[in-house]
Amino acid sequence: MTDVGAALRDAAARLAAVSDTPRLDAELLMAHALGVERQALLLDPARFAVPDRFADFVAARMTHEPVAYILGYRDFWTVRIGVGPGVLIPRPDSETLIEAAVAHFGTIGPKRILDLGTGPGTLLYAALSEWPQASGLGVDASDIALDHAKENALTLGLDDRVHLMPGNWADQVDQQFDLILCNPPYIADTEELMPDVADHEPAGALFAGADGLDDYRRIIPDLPRILAPGGLAILEIGHTQRISVSKLAEAAGFSVGCRQDLGGRDRALLLTRA
């Protein structure tokens, strides 16, 4: 019988060819194969035997399939978001938007939250987990994403506080919201991405024209119509896009602030009525 520790070391050595976090990947895949949380695995690895399907998970990861797709979820903020092929995987950097919202609203929180391009519900459900009295609307153009968002709402017990609808950004939105969250595509069409992303995640959730700004040009001019007085809109940006996106926001009549992610990079623009 193969020792779990030895299996983890061997898998990490192999995964180093395809991952920047090979040991973490190996631990997550082993825990998933065992049907336990990673913390339980690390606490006492000797109590487990290596399951047969661990090798299958490692083989899938060796083809650059994202760990989140293999696991079927990604933990984000305080919630577990179910994901799968065709859905953008939540990133830790996006938690910067939730941190900014919490810093702005405090414990009182917004009453109505809008998540444009909600994907599997990542930002919306993280925000709703902070403010139990709030309700939210999630909009996405992808049926696959909305299916995941519906399932996640049920799993998280948020289905009675959430409405989901198909749409192209705010085109079909006819209400005003205290908090608007949005993580749009912002990668330039010519930019090269790692195989984990380029070969697996949906291009429509990643790329936004020659300069990566196409979707901001659509979203920002419509925000004054749907942002309630005293409200806040928070947009995720690429770390080099602060100036260009800020100019679009200022042209639409907003005052603009910026919050950095844990790496010290510009990540979230905060828009309030000027």
> What does each of the 274 residues of the chain score in pLDDT, given as a tens digit?
579 999 999 999 999 999 999 999 999 999 999 999 999 999 999 999 999 999 999 999 999 999 999 999 999 999 999 999 999 999 999 999 999 999 999 999 999 999 999 999 999 999 999 999 999 999 999 999 999 999 999 999 999 999 999 999 999 999 999 999 999 999 999 999 999 999 999 999 999 999 999 999 999 999 999 999 999 999 999 999 999 999 999 999 999 999 999 999 999 999 999 7
With contact defined as beta carbons under 8 Å apart, do 254 and 273 qualify?
yes
By C-alpha distance, which of 202, 201, 206, 204 is closest to 187?
206
Alpha carbons within 13 angstroms on the beta-carbon side of residue 73 total 14
d(CA 267, CA 4): 39
d(CA 233, CA 112): 12
Phi, psi of 172, deg, nearest 5: -100, 5
Q: Are strands 266-273 and 254-260 parallel, antiparallel or unpaired?
A: antiparallel
Q: Which domains does the chain have, with CATH numbers?
A: 4-63 (1.10.8), 74-273 (3.40.50.150)
CA atoms within 13 A on the CB side of 54: 26
How far is 187 from 6, CA to CA, in rounded Å?
40
Q: Using alpha carbons, list the distances in angstroms from residue 116 to 14, 144, 222.
A: 39, 15, 12
